[in-house]
Structure 1
C-alpha cells in the first residue's frame, strides 16, 4: 500500500548543491558566522566560506589539474575546514567521497580504489593509515594533503598548496544535470557484506537555525558548531554555550546522554529537536531520553495502518545508484524508482511512522516473524541488563529459528545460570508464545556495534555457532 505525506509537496531547488547553498534566499549578510569550531572558536563567515571554497576549487584545477567528474576523498573527523574542502570540490565540478576516520588501512584502501579517488585530504592525527592506503590506491604523495597548517613527513597542508589569490566561478549545472550528476560517494557500513558506494546527486535542500552535526553542507544561514569528538561533555557544553537548536546524531550518543548523570547538569533547553539516524533507536530509549530532557527525537526513516511491512520510498532525495554495482542497484531500486530501505516499519492512523527492525534481521520461527528490537527493548528494562542483542539460532531439532539473546550486565551483578533464567522469564512473561527467548540468554562483555550504533549481528551469529556447541 502506498502512503503519501499529509504535508504539501515541497519545491525542489532546480540547481546544483553549490549554487543552492550560496543562493542566499534569506539575504544572509556576508559577515554572518556560519561555521564555528566548538573547541577553538575558529570560524568562517558566510562571505569567507564563499571566497575560500572558490579559492580551493581554483587550486584543485590549477595545481592538481583536477577536472570535472574527478573524485576527492576526505579522511578526517569533524573540523571547521571540512565544509571548505567539501563544497570547494563541488565548485570545481568534482565528486566527494568521505571516509570514516576510524578506518584502518584496508578499509580506506578499498574505498579509495573503488571510488576512483585521485586526491586525498587527511587529518594529521590519522596520516599513517592514509599514507599506506594512498600507496595501495596509487595516489601520489603530492596529491595527499593535510588539514591544519603544519607539514608532516613532507606531506603539506592543503592551504599551502592550493589556496592563493585566484578564485573561479563554480561549475554550473542545468536542472537536468543537477538531477543526474553525482556529487557524493558515501559508503554503506557493510554490516551484511561488501561495502557499496552510494551515489548522491548534486541536487539538495534544507535549512535550520543553529545545529550540531557530523558533516555539514551549510545552507540558509545556519550556524553549524563542529566538533571532532562527541563525548557527553563536549556535546552538552556546546549546546549550553552556543544555544544550539537542533542536533543530528546517532543512537549511541542518545544512550550516552541518558546514562551519564553529568549531562543533566547542563542547560539544554535551547534544543527544540533531535534528528537521530544511522540505526533504529528503541522506543524505551527514546521515552527515557524525553523524560529526562523533555526534548523530542525524530528518527531519520519514513506501509495498512499499524501493520509492519518493508518500507519502500520514492522521491528526488533518494540515492542515484550504487557505484559500479548494477546488481545491487537493481535489487534496491525498482523500475518505478522506489527504493527498498530494508526497514520494517508500521504507520499509524495519524501518519506517524515507526521503525521496528531490519528485514534481514527478522527472526523467522514457527511460521511467524519476530522483530529483535522488540525483545531488545524489553531486555533493556531489566534491572541487571545494560545492553542486549537478539538474533535467531537455527535449531536442527526444531527445524526453526529460536530467538536468542546476548546481554551485557551492569556492575554489581554476576553472570550466573540463575540470572540468565531470571532474565529469560522476565521477557517470556511479557510476550506472545512464539516470541519467547527459546534459544536462551547468553552473557557477553560487549555487544559488537559499528560506529553508528548498528548491532553487528553477523559477528554474534558466528559466536552463537560456537557457544551452542559448548
Structure 2
C-alpha cells in the first residue's frame, strides 16, 4: 500500500534558489543579523549577505570567467562565509558541490573530478589536502581560493580576488528551468557503489524549504538557531544555511564542536533551536559540564542523521526538559519526515509523519508492498527527491523506480557498505566481505562492522582481524572507518540474485553481542 502525508498538499514554488531564500516573507529589515561566527562574533546582516553574495557572483564572472552551469567546490568545515560562496555561486548561475572537510586527498580528488569543478574554495587548515587534490584534478592554483584573509603559499583569499564593487542581478530561471536545472551536487555513498553526486535541482531545494516552513517548527525572525553538523551534508546545508535566510532567523556558526563552546553559545546568544545528531545528545547527557549552563532559552532540539535511541531521548528530556524533534531524511530525498509531537516521547518503534506532498511505501526483500506495522525497506516519492546521480544513469535507475519512488536502502552515516567492501577485497587475505551497520550505545549512532571470509593459507586470529581493520581505516575518512571491527565468517548469506542478505548478518551480530553480555 502507498502511505500519504496527513498534511494537505502545498503549491510548488516556481522560483530559483537564490530568489526564494532572499524573498523575505517575514519582512525583516536589511540590518537583521543572519549569520554569526560563534567564537569571533563576526557576522552578516541580511543586507550585507545580499550585497556580498552578489559581489562574489560578479567576481566569479569577471575575474574567473565563470559561466552558467559551471561547478564550484567548497572544501571546508562550517565557516561564517560559507553561505556567501554557496549562494553567490547560485546567483552567478553555477552549481555548488560541497566536500567533507575530513576527506583525504584521494577522496577530494574523486569528488572534484567527478563533479567537474573548475573553482575550489578551501579552509586554510586543510589547504595541503586541497593542493594535492586540485593538482590531480587539473584545477589551476589561481582558481583555488581561501576562506579568511591571509595568503598562504601563494594561494589567495577569495575576498581579495573576487569581491569588488560590482554586484550582479542574480540569474533568473523559467519554471521549466527551475525543475530541470541542477543547483547542488551533494555527495553521498547512497545504498550501493562508490560515492555519487546527488543532483538537486532548484525546485527540489526550494520545495523542501517550503515543506520545512509548513511542518518542521515555527522558526522566524525571533529565532536563533545553531547546528553542530557540517554544511557539506544535506542536513545542515538545508536546515541551517538556507532556512536561516528564508525564515529571517539568526544562525550561530561553529567550525568545530565541543560541549563547552556549544553550551556557552546557547547561553551567550540565547539560542532557542538546535540541530544535532545522536552523539551530541549523548555527550550533553553524559558530560556534567552541560548542566552548569543556562538552557532556558531553548525550545527544541532537532535530531537527525541516525536513529536516536528512545532511552537517550527520554533521559535528555528528564535532565533538561527540552523536547527533541526527530527528523528523517537522506541526501537523495532531503528531510521527508518528522516526529509526530516533539513534546511527547512516544517510545521505541515509532514512525514519523510524512512531509507535505510526500508519499511512501514499505517493501519486503522480495519486492512485495507491505502494510502497517511491517518491517521492510522504505521508498519515498515527492518533489524533494533528487534529480538523479550525476553521470550515472545505471545507479539512478537502480534506486528510482518507474513511478518516481526512491529506494532508501539501509540507513547509516553516509557510508556505502559496498565502498568499504571493495576496499576489503583488496587485502591479500580476504576472499569475500560484507559490511553492515549496527547501533552503538556508546556512540549513539550506527557504526560499520565487517564480516570477511579469508583465503586458504590464512588463519583466523585477532591479529589478522586488527590488521584488516587497520588496512581499511588507513584508506578512508574518519566516519567510514570500521569502528565496529572485523569478524570472520565461513559463508556470507546471499540471495539467488547475489544480493547480500544483510538482515541475516545483523541478526547474527545481535546474537553474538547477546552471548558476550
Counterpart of 2:261 in structure 1 is 234
Q: Is the 8 A contact 2:450 2:486 kept in 1?
A: no
Offset of residue 286 of structure 1? 2.2
Q: Per the alignment, in what secondary structure is the counterpart of residue 239 of structure 1?
A: helix
Q: Is the 8 A contact 1:251 1:453 kept in 2?
A: no
Q: Is the 8 A contact 2:39 2:254 kept in 1?
A: yes
Is 1:210 aligned with 2:211?
no
Q: Which has the larger radius of gyration?
A: 1
Is 1:27 aligned with 2:27?
yes
Q: Per the alignment, in what secondary structure is the counterpart of residue 72 of structure 1?
A: strand
Counterpart of 1:279 in structure 2 is 306
Offset of residue 464 of structure 1? 3.9
Counterpart of 1:423 in structure 2 is none
Distance 1:394 1:111 in 2: 28
Q: Is the 8 A contact 1:187 1:195 kept in 2?
A: yes
C-alpha distance 260-159 of structure 1, shift in aligned 2 (>3 A): same
Q: 1:317-349: CA deviations, max 9, x gaps? A: 1111111111111111111111111158xxxxx
Q: Is the 8 A contact 2:71 2:116 kept in 1?
A: yes
Is 1:131 aligned with 2:131?
yes
- The alignment of Structure 1 onto Structure 2 pairs a total of residues equal to 389
Offset of residue 395 of structure 1? 10
Offset of residue 185 of structure 1? 0.7
- Map 1:200-349 onto structure 2 (within 5 A): 200-203=200-203, 204=206, 205=209, 206-207=212-213, 208=219, 209-213=223-227, 214-215=230-231, 216-217=241-242, 218-301=245-328, 302=337, 303=362, 304-343=371-410
Is there any run of 5+ residues in structure 1 with no aligned partner, and where? Answer: 345-354, 362-370, 397-405, 407-443
Offset of residue 276 of structure 1? 2.0
Is there any run of 5+ residues in structure 2 with no aligned partner, and where? Answer: 214-218, 232-240, 329-336, 338-361, 363-370, 419-435, 455-461, 463-468, 491-511, 513-517
TM-score computed with the length of structure 1 as normaliser: 0.75
Counterpart of 1:347 in structure 2 is none
Counterpart of 1:158 in structure 2 is 158
Q: 1:31-62: CA deviations, max 9, x gaps? A: 10111110000010100000111000000000
Counterpart of 1:175 in structure 2 is 175
- Map 1:73-84 onto structure 2 (within 5 A): 73-84=73-84
Q: Is the 8 A contact 2:189 2:416 kept in 1?
A: no
Q: 1:72-118: CA deviations, max 9, x gaps? A: 00011111111000100000000001111111111111110011000
Distance 1:261 1:451 in 2: 33
C-alpha distance 236-34 of structure 1, shift in aligned 2 (>3 A): same
TM-score computed with the length of structure 2 as normaliser: 0.69
Offset of residue 279 of structure 1? 2.3
Offset of residue 388 of structure 1? 8.8
Distance 2:398 2:52 in 1: 41
Offset of residue 359 of structure 1? 12
Q: 1:406-431: CA deviations, max 9, x gaps? A: 9xxxxxxxxxxxxxxxxxxxxxxxxx
With CA pairs under 8 Å and 6+ residues apart, which has the higher RCO, 1 or 2? 2
Q: Is the 8 A contact 1:278 1:453 kept in 2?
A: no
Question: Cα RMSD over matched residues?
Answer: 3.3
Q: Is the 8 A contact 2:56 2:85 kept in 1?
A: yes
